[in-house]
Amino acid sequence: MDYYSARLLIVCLVDDCRPRKRNTCDYPFVVFRAKGYKQAFQRALNLGKQQETRYKNGKGQWVRWAFVQVENVKHLGRTLDGVEIGSLLDVLRSDRPVPFRKRFHPKKSKVYYD
């Protein structure tokens, strides 16, 4: 079996009688093994369902994290070493403009480990 990854969409809904057009959401990336894309999709569906939860917040309102969809399924191959499973393209905000020839020092990274 090969490795696959899937990006899921999970949305947070609060039962406060005010449906919203904008809701907090999460895009978890999950890695798993499967025999092919069909099985990988089914596995992604199962993993997405496991992300669902309900609880009451500090105001006594029900909060529901609902699994909306499988965003994509990616074939990773037989090994995972060095394989990119996801990416986030964003904007780097700096106090001063960053010149083209700026040297960076990744060895001095402040890393947060989970």
Q: For the segment 59-93, what is each residue's pLDDT rounded down to a tens digit?
A: 999 999 999 999 999 999 999 999 988 888 788 89
Number of domains in the chain: 1
Is 86 part of any domain? no
Instruction: Note whether 4 and 73 are within 8 A (CB).
Output: yes
How far apart (Å, rounded) are the C-alpha atoms in residues 53 and 66? 7
Per-residue pLDDT tens for 84-111? 888 887 888 989 998 899 999 999 998 8
Q: pTM of the full predicted structure? A: 0.81
Asked if residue 11 is part of any domain, the answer here is yes
What gap in Å lies between CA 20 and CA 13, rounded to an integer?
9
114 domain-assigned: no
Question: What angle is formed at CA 44 by the lines to CA 38 and CA 49, rounded to 5 degrees?
Answer: 135
Per the domain annotation, does 27 fall within a domain?
Answer: yes
Residue 54 phi, psi (nearest 5): -140, 145
Q: Judge whether 110 lies within some domain.
A: no
Of residues 22, 82, 61, 81, the one with CA closest to residue 11 = 22
Contacts of 29 (CB under 8 A, 6+ apart): 5, 6, 7, 8, 85, 86
Domain containing residue 8: 2-77
* Residue at 65 is within a domain: yes
In a domain, residue 31? The reply is yes
User: Which of 37-41, 46-50, 87-91 bottoms out in mean pLDDT, i.e. has the lowest?
Assistant: 87-91
